[in-house]
Amino acid sequence: MVKSRKVRSRFLYVQCNHCNNKQVVFGCAKTKVNCLACNTPLLVPTGGKASLAKNPATKLPNAHILEILDRNL
């Protein structure tokens, strides 16, 4: 019997805090992910899962997660 691997990577539905643009991003991104509308960094890679990019002036995230998109495999 072959065991199926548990999928730990997810797609995230995020909203930019600067322009309110909503977009789907990969939770394990290997490169910096920018907003498609205003080019603000949304996610930064951390070696595994990506984390929300923070504004250096306010220390607040540039985006927030609206939904975790999960496929039932």
pLDDT in tens, 14-64: 999 999 999 999 999 999 999 999 999 999 999 889 999 999 999 999 999
Token pair 């899962």 in the structure block, residue: 49
State the pLDDT at residue 71: 67
Q: Which of 38, 34, 68, 37 is nearest to 52 (CA)?
A: 34
Regarding pTM above 0.95, the answer is: no
State the pLDDT at residue 72: 58
State the pLDDT at residue 48: 87
Q: For residue 25, what are its two tokens?
A: 């991003």
State the pLDDT at residue 16: 97
